[in-house]
Structure 1
Amino acid sequence: MRIVPDTSIIVTGGISKMLEKGGIEGYTDGAVFAEPIDEIIIPEAVIAELEAQANFGRISGFRGLAEIEKIVRIAKEKNIIVEFTGRRPSIDEIKLAKGGEIDSMIRELAKSANAVLITSDRVQSLIAKAKGIETIFVKPKIIRPEDTRIMTFFTPDTASVHLREGVPPYAKRGKIGALKLVKLRDEPISYEELSEIADEIIEAAKQDEESSIEIERKGATVVQLRDVRVAIAERPFADRMEITAVRPIARVNIDDYGVSEELKRRIVERQRGILIAGPPGAGKSTFAASVANYLLDHGYVVKTMESPRDLMVREEITQYAPLEGDMTLTSDILLLVRPDYTIYDELRKTSDFQVFADMRLAGVGMIGVTHATRAIDAVQRMIGRVELGIIPQVVDTVIFIEAGKISKVYELEFTVKVPSGMFEADLARPVIEVKDFESKRVEFEIYTFGEQVVVMPVQSDEKLKRTVEEKISQFLDDFEVVVSGRRAVVKVPESQIPKLLGKKGKRIKRLEDELKVSIDLIPKEAERSEARIEETDKHYIIFAEGLEGRTVEVYADDEYLFSALVSGKGIIKVRKDKEAGKSLKIARAKNAKIRLKVVD
């Protein structure tokens, strides 16, 4: 009997198994052939398709070529003729393989050779039978994701599995923020074992409705196997074959991250532009999924843009991949769908930030996930990719996740002002203020200086105050400092102002340049001290010990009464029949406190 295998049966390894066992695994009409196979015709179209796939680094191409090599070897041992024949397809026909161009060439060859077509592609089988071609349909072996070998490496607390050719397998286990790398066995994993695991993963993803092959590039394949994201790397992309499988170890809600009620209100009060940032493995995507579910609970229509699609969101939320490999096309569709919020996981390339900005400016609430070492770095990643002046319109909130918790929240505001550290009014310019969400204190300012974009840390008022006090204390002992932004008001006794000013104001100018702060000097108002008062028949006696020979102002609480000179004995005698004495009498009747303020 002559047989013609197509690409699908070769890639699954079905022909070599058939030759070894003398029957077809998965063939519903029986396990053996009625007559022995004496010739295998392998179409050049199959070779061309597998060669193209291998040249693009796809695992299926390498797997198919290895299967053909195996078929030739087994056939030689069993004295079966193997013939490579048929027309080799053009490059354009190979590109149209998914449209059925190659399958059509294989069917025609089987028909002209009067051979039995063997396939594991149901569509190919149906068309061939309809055209009168004798066909055997081999059902692919059903592989459920939970039964794949990669899942045997996972335990409930396993976040990721790392398999590398020639190295023992490892896994990261524990809680978010406290993961440890654990060796799973001492025996190194071989290339053959890795290949079998990869084949199984890809086949399971093709069969399972909840799984998909997200990315397929030269030497790299990314598969979403239900809730497990699997990255398969091969030569030439990697120096050795490697499989990395990542799975969320916890499904949490927004409250598990310590989100304040004020931040919850900010998220749901209106559509916003929010960046969720943090280092790898911090729990950004898990938090983004919890925010998506929270928004859904509050009546918002939520969609996601992901590559790969691995966010663990509710069934009501549709997860979109790059349309024809392009997120710009996905955004075009989403703008027609008109969601209230879109979760973009994740922002890496310039095109990602531009799509994010375009959708946000179109009025869609956007939540982007991005890698960053610090919260401010998430904003800096937008500089140069999005026009500076519209950044606060695109992103007004940054949430930084670290070790599974929110460690920092920024809000962005746009204003026109003189940047901190500058003093001249004509230096005013548009400035993006990056404020701590809880304290509302400005921590960074972003503005243009010449042709450069500056991200300037703003020193806290308390820290700046201590710095100014340290410098002023080198010249004076009696002073007070009040700081607001980059301006310091220094209160000193009026007699000491010339000392701090220096000759022609050079000392205070040098201090301003050194501290990069504007300093205003104002006279320090003397403190009013409470005085003890006694009464005789004709006088009020005010005791002012320590102020002998000084001129003081006398106050009843905050009301000025009169001025007087303190005697050498440290007292002030005020006659009762004088105006000063009468004012003291009224103040004492009101139980007002008598205070003294030194004026000279």
Structure 2
Amino acid sequence: MEVIVPDTSVIVDGRLTQYLRELGERVRVVVPEAVVAEIEHQANEKRAIGHVGLEELKKLREMAEKGEIELEFYGERPELWQIKRAKSGEIDNMVREVAMELKGILLTGDAVQRDVAIAKGIRVIYLEARREVRHRLEDFFDENTMSVHLKAGVVPMAKKGRPGEWRLTPLREEPLTDDEVHEIADDIVERARRDPESFIELDAEGATVVQLRNYRIVIARPPFADRIEITAVRPIKKLSIEDYHLSEKLLKRLTEKAEGILIAGAPGEGKSTFAQALAEWYSSMGKIVKTMEKPRDLQVAEEITQYTALEGKMELTGDLLLLVRPDYTIYDEMRKTRDFKIYADLRLAGVGMVGVVHATKPIDAVQRFIGRVELGMIPQIVDTVLFIKAGKVEKVLSLEYKVKVPSGMTEEDLARPVIEVRDFESGELEYEIYTYGEEISIVPVKKKGEKAPALKLAERKLRQEIKRFLPDVYTEVELVSPHRAVVYADEFDIPTIIGKKGKRITELEKKVGISIDVKSFEERAMEEGPREKIPVEIEEKKRQFVLRVSKDFAGMPIKFYAGEDYIFTATPSKKGLVKVNRNTPIGRELERIVRENLEVWASI
């Protein structure tokens, strides 16, 4: 009886049982203990190939019980260090020794194992066949499917349509079973291992990331997920740069000037599709183009080399690209701080960079760099932002570094480094980025009829400082010029704000660097004149007064009046209520007002 000695490669992808069924004769299958130990280790690490291997071993046992084969486990169990060095050939060597000792035929799907066995004079059969499966991932896709979502116990779902215009559609009425999803997952892993155009990007405890041709697949298993789940994404259409109908002005910038590009947009809006088109356009112009991706899922031409994380680290990939020195690098899916720093390093080294980032607004893409690189370096790193929505280039921003007085400020001594962010097509200034105090701010430029953004920023900064100095005092701030502000407060709080001999207000003025006037809300009301009255109901309770206004004013600071006299300012609750203790200055004043039957009303 012929002795068959399989290695790990033909067990973890189902080729062994398929071969034995097609063989048509009874053989003795000897599985080395080294193979069992490696599969067990992979399964304990929650790796997909480990679970596939265990299922295959169980099928071998079933075949043996039916008398189709003889099954034996043989040899020594390897040490842990040998299992961990399996990729270096330790386990393969133990399998070859078993085949030599038993004078059997080595069954393998590994080309290196085959060649070493031939060199050592071991009989070997190299298998390329695959097992048949009832369900395959491709069965759930059609020409309009963007992604498929398969989970045990749930009806299979698919996103159908195109970026920005899709719907979630059930694919059948019956929920998927655990066996069905496991079978699909095992088939995906098997094909990725043997297909030269596919690869397993990540195989960690409970999670496997696979690039199967043009399908990007994430397999999640317990304990990482509550049940086994497969998410597969596929580009439904490949576009060229001409399909986006970009203006001549923008094409000229992308050709001649733009070398720090960000492609921004929300998930599913078509960022990666545009990145692919831009990469191939640069390549067609005779530029050397590379990509940095994890996982590698951009569908680009063969001329464009796709790099992933070298030894699991994108920093090493960046170091290698500095040696390669491409004209342009497409950095897909920038999310973490290290991604932005790598992008910045490569750009400052002279490499043209195209980064793909998630953002809900165009300016958000620029904001992702703030705090990660020095402010003054941002225009050197990023000069163009392309915002993608519903598969189209909806907006383009350009960045420029200047030393100037920010919009809305008038004094020359307030000049500072400012990053101007403009709408590229119209040239209109939309944002200014600069340092104010200790914080970096992105300030929208003043629209007609609005207060200057710089004054708004200064007001916010002043409110924060006053709140820090006077946490228990309600105030309102109005900045009337870059050097003068008015703080409004209740009459009885003004002495607290000013402090003894003006010490507190002087200290605050030094802190914020501007002159501060203090006025009462009553003074402001007199200056502004009569306002629309808001009805107020007063309810007397044993220990407090309850003032009730419409719920429409909940959360808004409103001013309360008695007759023509201002009383106080307060913010109503969600129910439109303001509660005032009787044993307070305002409570005693309200008691007098109620006793004298004066009209109480409010105003914004």
Match in the other structure for 1:32 = 24
Mapping 1:527-542, distance limit 5 Å: none
Q: Quick one: distance in 2 between partners of 1:510 and 1:131?
A: 86
Deviates more, 1:401-410 or 1:303-312: 303-312
Aligned residues of 2:399 and 2:419 also touching (Cα < 8 A): yes
Aligned residues of 1:232 and 1:241 also touching (Cα < 8 A): yes
Match in the other structure for 1:193 = 180
Q: Quick one: distance in 2 between partners of 1:119 and 1:204?
A: 15
Match in the other structure for 2:75 = 86
**5+ long unaligned stretches in structure 2:** 457-477, 488-513, 515-604
Match in the other structure for 2:147 = 160
Change beyond 3 A, Cα 1:182–1:484: closer
What TM-score do you get using the length of structure 2 for normalisation? Answer: 0.70
Aligned residues of 1:8 and 1:120 also touching (Cα < 8 A): yes
Q: Does 2:6 align with 1:5?
A: yes
Q: Structure 1 counterpart of 2:14, which letter?
A: G
Provide the secondary structure at the position in 1 that maps to 2:238.
Answer: coil
Count of residues paired in the alignment: 466
Mapping 1:52-71, distance limit 5 Å: 52-71=41-60
Q: Structure 1 counterpart of 2:416, which letter?
A: R
Q: Structure 1 counterpart of 2:432, which letter?
A: E
Aligned to 1:247, which of 234, 237, 240?
Answer: 234
Change beyond 3 A, Cα 1:512–1:252: farther
Change beyond 3 A, Cα 1:391–1:510: closer
Q: Quick one: distance in 1 between partners of 2:453 and 2:296?
A: 48
Q: Quick one: distance in 2 between partners of 1:202 and 1:75?
A: 26
Mapping 1:176-325, distance limit 5 Å: 176-270=163-257, 272-325=259-312
Mapping 1:13-32, distance limit 5 Å: 13-17=14-18, 23-25=20-22, 31-32=23-24
Give 1:377 deviation, angstroms.
1.1
Give 1:275 deviation, angstroms.
0.4
1:75-115 Cα offsets, whole Å, 9 max, x none, are 34539765444333333322321221110011112323444
Mapping 1:59-138, distance limit 5 Å: 59-78=48-67, 82-138=71-127
Q: Structure 1 counterpart of 2:292, which letter?
A: M
Q: Does 2:451 align with 1:459?
A: no
Aligned residues of 1:343 and 1:367 also touching (Cα < 8 A): yes
Give 1:74 deviation, angstroms.
4.0
Aligned to 1:350, which of 307, 331, 337?
Answer: 337
1:110-164 Cα offsets, whole Å, 9 max, x none, are 32344443333343234334434344443332899xx982112222111111111
Q: Quick one: distance in 2 between partners of 1:507 and 1:426?
A: 18
Aligned residues of 1:216 and 1:222 also touching (Cα < 8 A): yes
What TM-score do you get using the length of structure 1 for normalisation? Answer: 0.71
Q: Structure 2 counterpart of 1:259, which letter?
A: L
1:274-307 Cα offsets, whole Å, 9 max, x none, are 1000000100011111112222333322222222
Match in the other structure for 1:402 = 389
Aligned residues of 2:258 and 2:384 also touching (Cα < 8 A): no
Give 1:388 deviation, angstroms.
1.9
Aligned to 1:48, which of 37, 45, 48?
Answer: 37
Aligned residues of 2:48 and 2:203 also touching (Cα < 8 A): no
Q: Structure 2 counterpart of 1:121, which letter?
A: D
Change beyond 3 A, Cα 1:243–1:510: closer
Give 1:341 deviation, angstroms.
1.1
Give 1:251 deviation, angstroms.
1.7
Provide the secondary structure at the position in 1 that maps to 2:360.
Answer: coil
Q: Does 2:382 align with 1:381?
A: no
Provide the secondary structure at the position in 2 that maps to 1:346.
Answer: strand
Q: Quick one: distance in 2 between partners of 1:173 and 1:80?
A: 47
Greater C-alpha Rg: 1
Q: Quick one: distance in 2 between partners of 1:152 and 1:168?
A: 15
Deviates more, 1:132-141 or 1:192-201: 132-141
Aligned to 1:445, which of 432, 442, 453?
Answer: 432
Aligned residues of 1:271 and 1:364 also touching (Cα < 8 A): no
